[in-house]
Structure 1
Amino acid sequence: MDLKFKKVSFHENELLFGRDATPYITAVEFDGKNVMEIFYRQKNNVVSKKEAFKPFILLEDTVYLDGWDGTYEAKRLKGDAYYKYLVFLETWADLQLVLKHFKKKTGASPASMGAPFYYLNDPVHQYLLCSGQTLFKEMLFGDLVRLQLDIETYCAEGYEFSNPHRVEDRITLISLSDSSGWEHVISGREYEEKEMLEVMVEQINLRDPDVIEGHNIFNFDLTYIEARARRYKVPLAIGRNKQTIKSHSSRLNIAERTISYKKFEVYGRHIVDTYLLAQMYDVTARNLESYGLKNVARHFNVASQDRTYLEPDKLSWYYDNKPEELLKYGLDDVRETRAISEILSQSFYYQARIFPYSFQNTIIRGNATKINSLFIREYINSGNSIPRTSQSREYSGGYTDMFLQGVINRVLYCDVQSLYPSIMLTFKYFPKVDELNIFHSLLSDLKDFRLKAKEKMLTAKAKSEKMYYDALQSTFKVLINSFYGYLGFAYGHFSDFDEANKVTAKGREIIKSMIEWLEVNDCKVIEIDTDGIFFVPPDRVTKKKDEDEIINKLSSALPEGINLELAGRYKAMFSYKIKNYVLLDYDDKIIIKGSGLRSRGLELFQRRFMEEMFLYLLKGEGEKMDDLLDKYEKELVDRKWDKKMFIKKETLKESLAIYSEKVSKKKRSAAAAYELALKSERKYQPGDQISYYVIGDKSRVRVFDNCKLASQWNSEEPDENVEYYKKKLNTLYEKFKPFF
């Protein structure tokens, strides 16, 4: 399956895919000196070959090499951009030595903005940049051998959490599966823990996967396995060529959150953490209640009807008393991990064909960083000098506004297709420093290929073919919409803040012209959301064809190249605040948008209450609100709820040491999640989540002094604070009462 455009095959586009079309590469690994090992999949086998590798650094002037007596080759690049020399070293060790030399000479470190040298600290990335190769060419996602891994662990009596450094807290179950449907469980009822680890290593090497997947595999499964293997001196030789696993502390930014995690690397293979993928997905979707495996599986409808659910704090009991239930539970975990990865990792798989990174690093690199790599690759390939990064500065954002508040019926939503990319292409807002015009070419090609992929998806007969083109077009959409962000990317060598300002200014101008047209044509505008408008059509519009006609007329009034589509039809809309609204579709399903209405800071009972309340509100049944409040209060007083209804889940954003220091210096208030983490003997770190609930009998309590971990709640002796939670219900009720 492939796309053809302008008589050029999709994968022959060298700007996107690199100039080397070598197929079937599944991994590239560095030997630590001057050799890269390239792994290729050939049907059911994997072969490899070794290639010479010389690391490089970009340099403003060779004068900085004066006084360094190592061997190097300096190539003068064309043009007068800042980095004029491409300098190759003999080994990676030489590169580290020359960096020390530069620091002595210039005072700048590799991380310094505007340093006279530019260093990339990933040797595989360097190799792929220079070679023009990328992974997975001529392969489908289904060609990858993907193995799923999940473990269950014991928790000694008297403790709340398993601890890999506590003798008794052994691994009780290792569940394995792969993309062929193969499944295997290694039970502690059959093996000593040391033997379990040895069998796991043996099975992974026998299956020889390209990818190892797990849910929270970095911060839990592999971290735990590593600690227990160290206890028994079992070498975790699960890499190709029997290489042992490596790990180091790392950080990852997902939207506004920084996640600390232990990054593991397996020679010749990639590790995919679906826990991280779920968080990346939710940056734009914002519809996951939590990132736990079971919740994510239910969200994507991949949990089987007979799925085994066990309480996390009862897993040790099941191991001791009902081990067969634990086995079912573990297998369901790996099955769900496999299904979630098939949904969430495919876009990154296709990105790995484009970007010069390993599959694992393609997932964790930001979109702007990845786009920057395409510029670097092409400029190095063509022998052109490269600009330094721009000085970061503020630039104006998109236009948002709200004109009507409350419940509105008969709502349409029109959306400008890829507003900012369309503006850049139509009005030629491109980086001035891009002498090779890469930005324009890449954006134009991606837009054309996405349209072609969408056409192929609609006409595809086979399900596998439809999924292939859908994954492609989704990948292209993400990249297309990232080009505007790249213009304002502080670490981009070809970013341009002046052009970014022009793009948003033109966007505001176009949206305002749309508002004027709608108002002149008897439409009522409700809300503007950067690239789309919610509005009420005139009373004369009663049929779908009438709605389409309005959109077509409005579209024809826009500049050429700016295309509009009818993106939504709704029975009613509750407009609350800017970017906070609720929609009721014609199947009577509600869609809640905005952090003010769908905050994860709300307990489940509040979210459920709001969903029912909004449904009544949008259906014009406000008189049912009092009965709804009475129902929830009675259930609460009668203690009818399971703990999931009122537990609160919070993510630790800073270390416990930093938190304690800030509290002691009165630089921040005490918080329940941190106080519970401090009392626990578990080693928490930023990015970890704490689930807790509030205890007591008064509506006003200091939560950090009146809380317990969710695992401490006992259904036989419930002790949740009824008055506290009743007050929360009433606060919500009063908040939205004016709209009934």
Structure 2
Amino acid sequence: MQSLTTGFVLTRQSRDIKGQTEIILWVKTEQGPHRLSIVGDNPVFFVRTEQKAQAQQVLAKANIPVRFNDLPLKTFQHHAISACYTQTIRDGFSATKALAEEYIDVFESDIRLADRFLMERFVRGGLVFTGDHKVKLGYTEVTNTKVKPADYVPKLSVVSLDIECSEKGVLYSVGLHSEADSRVIMVGQAPDNYQDSDNLVIEWVDDEKALLQALESWFTAFDPDVIIGWNVIDFDFRLLLHRAEWNKVNLRIGRGRQTPHYRPSSQNPNQGFITIPGRVVMDGIDTLKTATYNFRSWSLESVSQELLGEGKAIHNVHDRMAEINHMFRHDKLSLAKYNLQDCELVTRIFDHTHLLDFAIERCRLTGVELDRVGGSVAAFTNLYMPQLHRAGYIAPNLISDNWIASPGGYVMDSMPGLYDSVLVLDFKSLYPSIIRSFRIDPMGLVEGLTLQEGKADDQAISGFRGGRFHRTKHFLPKMIEELWAARDQAKRDGEKAFSQAIKIIMNSFYGVLGSSGCRFFDHRLASSITMRGHEIMKLTRELIEAKGYEVIYGDTDSTFVSLKKAHSKQDADQIGNDLVEYINQWWTDHLCDEYGLTSALEIEYETHYHKFLMPTIRGQETGSKKRYAGLVWRGDKEEIVFKGLETVRTDWTPLAQHFQQSLYQMVFHDQPVDDYIREYTQRTLAGEFDDQLIYRKRLRRNLADYQKNIPPQVRAARLADEMNVKLGRPRQYQNKGTIEYVFTTSGAEPSEYRQSPIDYNHYIDKQLKPVADGILPFIGKYFDDITAPQLGLF
């Protein structure tokens, strides 16, 4: 009897070999890495049975060998289905192309072979396998493999990789930081004062080719499961592979001494994907974005400062390049320290944010690859499609035509003002709870619509825009219920990464169903979620106002309630908790009486703002949306929360942000503000805040694409690159990028190459005045009235 081995899938590939397919799974086990080979799994797609004969003729004429099999499956339109099997992946591509040319619909042809193999077996990262084992150098090869799912959490070894190079891309060094070994592989000879230390080990090599060969040897010796870095795919690995090609080195850093494969994105030539057999490559920027982090700047220095409170001293790209060149020629020890520091910072960011734990848990929940960026649609497909097949349906194709948008989240008109005691009540995961409560589901919609109108109330639940959902035939409500319970348990256990992964997946389900990029999109599905959300928010407002309070704003799942006068924390908390109990009970009774359903809706008391500002739209009397500020106590500490205002917007200067934070603090504490405003204005005009005048904006298009409208950041970027050319430096801003600039008497100029005097009046009129007049009118004051006598002196 073959023994069972448990492991976790790191990478998956499939290929054609000797006239049949091979699926290759690299798996991490407690006994070391294993390479699983599954041979002869047939690629499959589906056609409507009514078109099978025509399809057979087309494929016979094209001389593509296939095998058809009628199955007890049907489309969402209830057409009978036949499966079409091919021997190879290439034949599968050729067959679907030939059929498409004859306008024969094929279904599920875009599901990759390895993905389908794992998905249909419900393998989500963890698996248990049997087969014939053969020990090889650094791994075990398993043939005649059989697998089934297992719940397994792996311990993965990680290396952080970073390269240093010249401006022309010639490699100077490679930094590697891991628990097993940390070193810098450096081109050059050790200086007389060099001596290995625990903090800095340098492997000296003669030239670039030797550096690449030493990198190969390092991966063979230390064999990490995961490679992390900062822009590591599109910069480090792209350049490493380019230099390997130039030096005629294969760069065999994959397991089994296999070579990496870099594939440029079809949508963006500056981005790509890398496959390294047996090793997962995770970019810090992409993984943080997938985990819903957001930063003012995505540079390693900026993110390090924000998360870790430290970064690097060199910020200007020209200074950095010049200093790296200087260190390589004259001070290689400093370059090695600099190189390794980058590696260590990335390691610490991953540790601080539990990014690897997050990726593992997401994989365990959905089956998507560890290094998958985004992946909400793939996650939903992985979870939903196997259940759909077992219920007798195949998945629909993407529909690009006749796409109907669904309404977004409910955003209430706000009531502008400066308030005492405002409560925020939030529906906990509103959209997932609507899906659970009202049985919203792709197959449930198909089944619900087949019911006769008179039977709808007994067997189906009415949605919106003609949607109708079967009361019992569905999967998504149960999927969310299980995730919800798992998240509650993760919170109780203090497993933050697991809890965050579940939250993101659960909340993505609405976005997936509302996305034209998802095969299960139907506007009746998405609308039945969002429009039900509108209904819930409106009725909740009526419930609150019937209690004598005033709802001043609402946004998607949050309701802002004015208590109409100042309340102590104790009194406000009592009111908030009483409202929550009343509203939740009302919805429980309402759904039971009106629909015969069990409510999963749950509103929570979130915050008590002691002072709260709901501003107007600038220059108007109408209340704004998604913009407010409030004074709140967190424990024994006071904090002002800014939402959508200048303080939290990256396109406003530090001058305006610091001014706003102090001004709001004073207004919220009923302190006089006139002297502060006059003094801040005077100090601005006197040049005391010149270091806070920098705008920082992203160029969203290539510089040459701006023709008619030339915004300030584009003017500044063009001036900067003109100066770069004059100084013999490479141009920075031709292909997007981020520019820092200031306003001068000659207009916007790059901050590093400013030629003209600063236009202080611009900053008074465009930065300080709008910030001040966002709050001053609510206490009967205006910026111009306060500053007019003073400005007249200049």
TM-score range, shorter chain: 0.7 to 0.9
User: For 2:284 and 2:346, how far apart are their aligned partners in 1?
Assistant: 7
Tell me, yes or no, if the aligned pair for 2:487 and 2:502 is still in contact at 8 Å: no
User: For 2:254 and 2:472, how far apart are their aligned partners in 1?
Assistant: 38
What SS class does the counterpart of residue 203 from structure 1 fall into?
A: helix
User: For 1:568 and 1:429, how far apart are their aligned partners in 2?
Assistant: 30
Deviations 1:541-561 (A, max 9, x none): 531344322322232222333
Amino acid in structure 2 at the alignment position of 1:73: R
The reply on whether 1:101 has 2:98 as its aligned counterpart is: yes
Mapping 1:62-141, distance limit 5 Å: 62=52, 63-68=54-59, 69-81=63-75, 84-106=81-103, 115-120=105-110, 122-136=112-126
1:6 maps to what in 2?
none
User: For 1:541 and 1:695, how far apart are their aligned partners in 2?
Assistant: 45
What SS class does the counterpart of residue 394 from structure 2 fall into?
A: coil
Amino acid in structure 2 at the alignment position of 1:215: W
Structure 1 residues 104 and 515, CA, compared in 2 at 3 Å: closer, same or farther?
A: closer
User: For 1:26 and 1:289, how far apart are their aligned partners in 2?
Assistant: 32
Deviations 1:383-410 (A, max 9, x none): 6333344552022222212443233222
User: For 1:522 and 1:200, how far apart are their aligned partners in 2?
Assistant: 71
Structure 1 residues 451 and 385, CA, compared in 2 at 3 Å: closer, same or farther?
A: closer
User: For 2:111 and 2:730, how far apart are their aligned partners in 1?
Assistant: 33
Tell me, yes or no, if the aligned pair for 2:660 and 2:772 is still in contact at 8 Å: no
1:227 maps to what in 2?
242
Q: Structure 1 residue aligned with 2:305, among 293, 298, 301? A: 298
Tell me, yes or no, if the aligned pair for 2:100 and 2:106 is still in contact at 8 Å: no
2:172 maps to what in 1?
172
1:579 maps to what in 2?
626
User: For 1:608 and 1:79, how far apart are their aligned partners in 2?
Assistant: 63
What SS class does the counterpart of residue 102 from structure 2 fall into?
A: helix
User: For 2:241 and 2:270, how far apart are their aligned partners in 1?
Assistant: 18
Tell me, yes or no, if the aligned pair for 1:245 and 1:265 is still in contact at 8 Å: yes
The reply on whether 1:330 has 2:339 as its aligned counterpart is: yes
Tell me, yes or no, if the aligned pair for 1:135 and 1:352 is still in contact at 8 Å: yes
Q: Which runs of 5+ in 2 are unaligned?
A: 128-149, 189-203, 448-469, 589-598, 616-623, 780-794
Tell me, yes or no, if the aligned pair for 1:646 and 1:693 is still in contact at 8 Å: yes
Structure 1 residues 457 and 511, CA, compared in 2 at 3 Å: closer, same or farther?
A: closer
User: For 1:369 and 1:727, how far apart are their aligned partners in 2?
Assistant: 49
Amino acid in structure 2 at the alignment position of 1:616: M
Deviations 1:565-607 (A, max 9, x none): 1122223222122111123221222222227763322234333
Structure 1 residues 546 and 132, CA, compared in 2 at 3 Å: closer, same or farther?
A: closer
Tell me, yes or no, if the aligned pair for 2:646 and 2:771 is still in contact at 8 Å: no
The reply on whether 1:629 has 2:680 as its aligned counterpart is: yes
What SS class does the counterpart of residue 24 from structure 1 fall into?
A: strand
User: For 1:348 and 1:224, how far apart are their aligned partners in 2?
Assistant: 26
- Pairwise CA distance, 1:735: 4.1
Mapping 1:654-733, distance limit 5 Å: 655=702, 659=705, 663=707, 666=708, 671-672=714-715, 675=718, 688-694=736-742, 696-698=744-746, 701=747, 703=748, 707-708=749-750, 712-713=752-753, 724-725=762-763, 727-733=765-771
Deviations 1:13-44 (A, max 9, x none): xxxxxxx9964332222244411122222236
The reply on whether 1:317 has 2:362 as its aligned counterpart is: no
Q: Which runs of 5+ in 1 are unaligned?
A: 1-19, 109-114, 155-161, 165-169, 253-257, 461-465
1:4 maps to what in 2?
none
Identity %: 18
Tell me, yes or no, if the aligned pair for 2:213 and 2:249 is still in contact at 8 Å: yes
Q: Structure 2 residue aligned with 1:509, among 535, 551, 555? A: 535
User: For 1:474 and 1:274, how far apart are their aligned partners in 2?
Assistant: 17
Q: Structure 2 residue aligned with 1:58, among 29, 35, 46? A: 46
What SS class does the counterpart of residue 497 from structure 2 fall into?
A: helix
User: For 1:308 and 1:521, how far apart are their aligned partners in 2?
Assistant: 56
The reply on whether 1:492 has 2:526 as its aligned counterpart is: no
Mapping 1:180-259, distance limit 5 Å: 180=179, 182-189=181-188, 190-191=204-205, 192-250=207-265
Tell me, yes or no, if the aligned pair for 1:488 and 1:495 is still in contact at 8 Å: yes
The reply on whether 1:420 has 2:431 as its aligned counterpart is: yes
What SS class does the counterpart of residue 364 from structure 1 fall into?
A: coil
Q: How does the TM-score come out when normalised to structure 1? A: 0.80
2:595 maps to what in 1?
none
Q: Determine which structure has more spread, i.e. the larger CA radius of gyration.
A: 2
Deviations 1:183-219 (A, max 9, x none): 2222344433332222223223322222211111123
Amino acid in structure 2 at the alignment position of 1:313: H
1:547 maps to what in 2?
576
Tell me, yes or no, if the aligned pair for 1:124 and 1:357 is still in contact at 8 Å: no
Tell me, yes or no, if the aligned pair for 2:159 and 2:228 is still in contact at 8 Å: yes
The reply on whether 1:30 has 2:26 as its aligned counterpart is: no
- Comparing 374-383 with 565-574, greater Cα deviation is found at 374-383
1:364 maps to what in 2?
374
1:273 maps to what in 2?
283
User: For 2:660 and 2:290, how far apart are their aligned partners in 1?
Assistant: 26
Mapping 1:326-475, distance limit 5 Å: 326-342=335-351, 343=353, 344-361=355-372, 363-365=373-375, 367-380=376-389, 384-389=393-398, 391-431=402-442, 432-433=444-445, 440-458=474-492, 460=493, 466-467=494-495, 470-475=496-501
Amino acid in structure 1 at the alignment position of 2:58: G
Q: CA RMSD in A?
A: 3.5
1:594 maps to what in 2?
644
User: For 2:472 and 2:116, how far apart are their aligned partners in 1?
Assistant: 20
User: For 1:697 and 1:536, how far apart are their aligned partners in 2?
Assistant: 46
User: For 1:582 and 1:686, how far apart are their aligned partners in 2?
Assistant: 38
- Pairwise CA distance, 1:345: 4.7
Tell me, yes or no, if the aligned pair for 1:37 and 1:50 is still in contact at 8 Å: yes
Tell me, yes or no, if the aligned pair for 2:653 and 2:767 is still in contact at 8 Å: no
User: For 2:121 and 2:38, how far apart are their aligned partners in 1?
Assistant: 10
What SS class does the counterpart of residue 548 from structure 2 fall into?
A: coil
Structure 1 residues 40 and 281, CA, compared in 2 at 3 Å: closer, same or farther?
A: closer
Tell me, yes or no, if the aligned pair for 2:123 and 2:367 is still in contact at 8 Å: yes
Q: Which has the higher contact order (CA 8 A, sep 6+)?
A: 1
Amino acid in structure 2 at the alignment position of 1:101: A
Amino acid in structure 2 at the alignment position of 1:598: V
Q: Structure 2 residue aligned with 1:41, among 28, 44, 50? A: 28
2:659 maps to what in 1?
609
User: For 2:120 and 2:731, how far apart are their aligned partners in 1?
Assistant: 42
2:192 maps to what in 1?
none
- Pairwise CA distance, 1:525: 1.8
Amino acid in structure 1 at the alignment position of 2:394: S
What SS class does the counterpart of residue 46 from structure 1 fall into?
A: strand
Equivalences, count:
661
Amino acid in structure 2 at the alignment position of 1:443: P
The reply on whether 1:262 has 2:272 as its aligned counterpart is: yes
Deviations 1:614-637 (A, max 9, x none): 3333333351541563365157x2
Structure 1 residues 451 and 386, CA, compared in 2 at 3 Å: closer, same or farther?
A: closer
Tell me, yes or no, if the aligned pair for 1:187 and 1:196 is still in contact at 8 Å: yes
Deviations 1:70-93 (A, max 9, x none): 222223232431572332211112
2:464 maps to what in 1?
none
- Comparing 527-536 with 543-552, greater Cα deviation is found at 543-552
- Pairwise CA distance, 1:486: 3.2
Structure 1 residues 476 and 278, CA, compared in 2 at 3 Å: closer, same or farther?
A: closer
User: For 1:627 and 1:633, how far apart are their aligned partners in 2?
Assistant: 10
2:609 maps to what in 1?
570
Q: How does the TM-score come out when normalised to structure 2? A: 0.75
Q: Structure 2 residue aligned with 1:146, among 129, 147, 158? A: 158
